Structure 1
Amino acid sequence: MAYLKLYRDKLHENHKVLVKMFDKAGIEWGVVTKLLCGNRKYLQELVDLDIKEMHDTRISNLKAIKAIAPEVQTVYIKPPAKRSWENVVKYADVSFNSDLTTIRGLSAEAVKQGRTHKVIIMVEMGDLREGVMGDALGDFYAKVFELPGIEIIGIGTNLNCLNGVMPSTDKLIQLSLYKQLIEARFNKRIPWVSGGTTVAIPLLLNKELPHGVNHFRVGEALFFGADLFNGGTLPGMNADVFKLFTEVIELYEKPVVPTGERKENPSGRKAKFADKDRGRKTYRAIIDVGLLDVQPSFLIPDDDRVNVIEASSDMLVVDLGESTHEYKVGDIMS
């Protein structure tokens, strides 16, 4: 059975880097916990780091957070579906929104539950996922300000989440200007400009982040030290907070090139093979993990003699080359 191991010391080191970085810039931030899938042991590690705010897209995960740390501010980071309004208000202190009908539904539910539900209004800034169009923003805010049980605490945007549009100084200045215009028009204070995610951290490090952006949502930087802007790892951070361990369930010498008529596999891919590999054999191991568990392209074997080839739903094939390197069925690979 495959399992994940979390290295607490490396998680703490990454957290320390982020705390120092954001404190210096006067930026508030929360941790995106989707990766943890509501696992209470892992969530407890975040609670033990004194993280005050956690973000997720699954109600069940937010419910798990509230069960172990009611004081943590929970944020539902996608527009809520109608069927989830009741539980969003119940388990999320804050939600991201871009539709007036939805916010009206949340308002009614908040009044029913005797709560005040906080919202961040998402703005379309070019990546074409969720977000109110900029020219409609003023009228949108006017209607939301009238709703009982709703408190607007921010304006936000998502970039590099669908079409790969990268955050830039110009785009984030525009987001900050929208906030200033709304505040001036309605004489209301909007605390947060939530324009930062892991991909925007290099802008902060390079002093290119507009001062108005004062809230970040961070997941991959904490858990993987990922520099999503330039590639590689952010300075001073660890890429190996997590390690996957899985068992070898088959090991044979097999041809490198398949035999028979080939079309796309169930994932829609058709592998290509070099002419030099025809007739060649190598040792191949099947390990007990698959596409339902992991994305193979992100796996980096500890043993550099092991190469990830391809995966099906529940099994992954690795190539060991011209030797078994003393691996055998039942051994654990990491």
Structure 2
Amino acid sequence: MNLPRIDIDLGKIAHNTRRLKKLYGSQDINIIGVTKVIAGNPIIADILVKNGIEILADSRISNIIKMRKAGIRAQYLLLRTPALSQVEEVVIHAHISLNSELAVLKKLSEYALRNHMIHKVVLMVELGDLREGIMPSEMNAIVKEVLNLDGLALIGIGTNLACFGGISPDADKMNELSSIAIRLEEKFKITLAMVSGGNSANYNWFTSSKNTGRINSLRLGESIFLGREALCRRPIPGLFTDIFTLLAEVIEAKRKPSQPYGEVYQNANGDIPRFKNKGLMNRAVLAIGTQDVMVSGITPKQKITVLGASSDHLLIDNGKTSLKVGDTVAFDLNYSALLRVFNTPCIAKNTINQYECESIL
């Protein structure tokens, strides 16, 4: 198959999905499958749904459209707060959206009515990470407005932590979200079907909590696809961490100096590089670069050292492996690297263990 490519083990995705559903389900917490890291790949989305995921969440409407056109039957949630310019698309293609702006909610109401639809909304609460969210002191006023908007159904509240500010979704934060949910239900005589406590960063809170309060939903991507929690990136027991393997081909292998020579200015990435002089070394060039993958997020499986990259070339120290032209080098990926890989068309996507996956569904 063409290189570069990423191999995707569907059987391991199925395993991780079932294990996480069982784990969080033990405390009546439903997991939402986040598909943005796999760019809404319909084959993978289908595996999530077949293994019990009922809601698929993505930050891009284009990915949601892709999965719906492929016939993946699920509820679709738009993760990123809708832009005013895309409100009609959101109403038509997403069943649920996360929201923090009243102006957007009013437009959602307008287009829902125009299209004779009911659009479900979850209001995001700011609890310290300083990405999206309504300040807690403003929640009463916003909820009052939303409840009077025809065409919308307020189904819950949620929060996002650890993504921008790195703030932990600890017991204090989750207790605060639970308290806000309870207060809103009591004040407005409503029932919030979804109280979404966060994402894969919530694992440590969950495993250390005796009482998860009103939190009944988490949005998981990294835990499913990389088998890790998202605070310290530690593996979650019983999950696979090697679902994805990135493969790139050697296009040059030569013995060259270890230090560039000549007058140094900025390189293609805008950096002024510095290299230690280690004498002559066996170097190799791979046919992959920064436009394909976040190089700092890949780890070679072989005994090589990544020296750096330009847009289309990855440079490695080939001293311990004696790679030659035409050989293949394999890498593990972190979340950011995986996100970049799935959003470039230049890397082939190759699914494996389809039979194994189907045999255990």
* TM-score scaled by length of structure 2: 0.86
Aligned to 2:111: 109
The more displaced of 227-236 and 193-202 is: 227-236
Aligned to 1:149: 151
2:280 is aligned with 1:281: yes
Aligned to 2:181, what secondary structure does the other structure show?
helix
Aligned to 2:206, what secondary structure does the other structure show?
helix
The more displaced of 251-260 and 72-81 is: 251-260
Please give the alpha-carbon distance, in whole angstroms, between the structure 1 residues aligned to 2:92 and 2:264.
51
Which residue identity is paired with 2:75? Q
Please list the CA deviations of residues 113-163 of structure 1 after superposition, one character each: whole Å capped at 9, or x if unmatched.
111100110111111111111111100110011001101111111111112
Please give the alpha-carbon distance, in whole angstroms, between the structure 1 residues aligned to 2:50 and 2:212.
31
Please give the alpha-carbon distance, in whole angstroms, between the structure 1 residues aligned to 2:322 and 2:262.
31
Closer, same or farther in 2 for the Cα pair 1:48/1:266, shift >3 Å?
A: same
Aligned to 2:237, what secondary structure does the other structure show?
coil
Please give the alpha-carbon distance, in whole angstroms, between the structure 1 residues aligned to 2:173 and 2:17.
27
Aligned to 2:64: 62
Please give the alpha-carbon distance, in whole angstroms, between the structure 2 residues aligned to 1:227 and 1:216.
12
Unaligned runs of 5+ in 1: none
Superposed displacement of residue 34, structure 1: 0.7
Please give the alpha-carbon distance, in whole angstroms, between the structure 1 residues aligned to 2:180 and 2:42.
38
Aligned residues: 328
Closer, same or farther in 2 for the Cα pair 1:263/1:163, shift >3 Å?
A: farther
Q: Taking every aligned residue pair, what percent have the same amino acid on both sides?
A: 34
Contact 2:159 2:197 in 1 (8 A): yes
Superposed displacement of residue 177, structure 1: 0.8
Superposed displacement of residue 266, structure 1: 4.0
Please give the alpha-carbon distance, in whole angstroms, between the structure 2 residues aligned to 1:210 and 1:19.
16
Where do residues 1-334 of structure 1 align in structure 2 (5 Å cutoff)? 1-69=3-71, 71-207=73-209, 210-273=212-275, 277-278=276-277, 280-303=279-302, 305-321=303-319, 325-334=321-330
The more displaced of 142-151 and 294-303 is: 294-303
Please give the alpha-carbon distance, in whole angstroms, between the structure 1 residues aligned to 2:135 and 2:124.
9
Aligned to 1:25, what secondary structure does the other structure show?
coil
Contact 1:203 1:209 in 2 (8 A): no
Superposed displacement of residue 262, structure 1: 2.9
Closer, same or farther in 2 for the Cα pair 1:306/1:208, shift >3 Å?
A: farther
Which residue identity is paired with 1:237? L
Which residue identity is paired with 2:208? N
Contact 1:47 1:69 in 2 (8 A): no
Superposed displacement of residue 101, structure 1: 0.5
Contact 1:38 1:61 in 2 (8 A): yes
Which residue identity is paired with 1:281? L
Contact 1:128 1:162 in 2 (8 A): yes
Superposed displacement of residue 319, structure 1: 1.4
Superposed displacement of residue 70, structure 1: 5.3
* TM-score scaled by length of structure 1: 0.93
Please list the CA deviations of residues 207-254 of structure 1 after superposition, one character each: whole Å capped at 9, or x if unmatched.
266321110000000000112223331111111111111111122222
Aligned to 2:198, what secondary structure does the other structure show?
strand
Contact 1:30 1:52 in 2 (8 A): yes
Contact 1:107 1:147 in 2 (8 A): yes
Contact 2:256 2:283 in 1 (8 A): yes
Contact 1:194 1:216 in 2 (8 A): yes
Please give the alpha-carbon distance, in whole angstroms, between the structure 2 residues aligned to 1:263 and 1:205.
50
Which residue identity is paired with 1:319? D
Aligned to 1:196, what secondary structure does the other structure show?
coil
Question: 1 or 2 for the larger relative contact order (CA 8 Å, sep ≥6)?
Answer: 2
The more displaced of 187-196 and 72-81 is: 187-196
Contact 2:45 2:72 in 1 (8 A): no
Closer, same or farther in 2 for the Cα pair 1:311/1:97, shift >3 Å?
A: same
